[in-house]
Structure 1
Amino acid sequence: MRIIVLIFIFLILASLFSALYYLIKDKGQSERTVKALTVRIILSLTLFALLMLGFHFGWLPQRSV
């Protein structure tokens, strides 16, 4: 599960930096920045749901302090 979370974080960061690249390159004249940020939001929501399911089904252990 840890590897899957790390992959999602890497994809989220890659999408964020691609949006920054498109913003600089296109100077706000195209839709590519919006599409890259939309992909980032979808990946973030998917990761959040995956973490919630992981805690619910016990795939991720809960640490007690």
Structure 2
Amino acid sequence: MKFIIVLALAGIVAALGSAGVFMLRKRDPGAPATAHMARALAVRVGLSVALFAFILFSYWMGWIQPTGIPAGR
């Protein structure tokens, strides 16, 4: 379970990094620069939503449990 979550987080960070590279890369005048960056950011958002849904599903199936740390201490 931890491996899947770490893998998804690594994918999210990689998509964010590639969007930053596309944003900072020098490009030809008149070339569409935002298409690659927008696609990388869309992948990041999709991975984030999928990870959140997977964590909720895992909790619902009983694969993960809350730790029981008391709140407010």
> Same fold by TM-score, threshold 0.5 exceeded?
yes
Question: Which stretch shows the higher mean deviation, 39-48 or 18-27?
Answer: 18-27
User: Which structure carries more helix by proportion?
Assistant: 1
How many pairs does the alignment contain?
65
Equivalent positions of 1:1-65 (< 5 A) are 1-26=1-26, 29-30=32-33, 31-65=35-69
What TM-score do the two structures reach when normalised by structure 2? 0.82
TM-score, normalized by length of structure 1? 0.91
- Which runs of 5 or more structure 2 residues have no equivalent in the other structure? none
Aligned-pair RMSD on alpha carbons? 1.6
Structure (1 or 2) with the larger CA radius of gyration: 2
The runs of at least 4 consecutive aligned structure 1 residues that moved more than 2 Å come to: none
Percent of paired sites with the same residue: 28
2:14 partner letter:
A
Distance in 2 (CA, whole Å) between partners of 1:36 and 1:7 is: 17
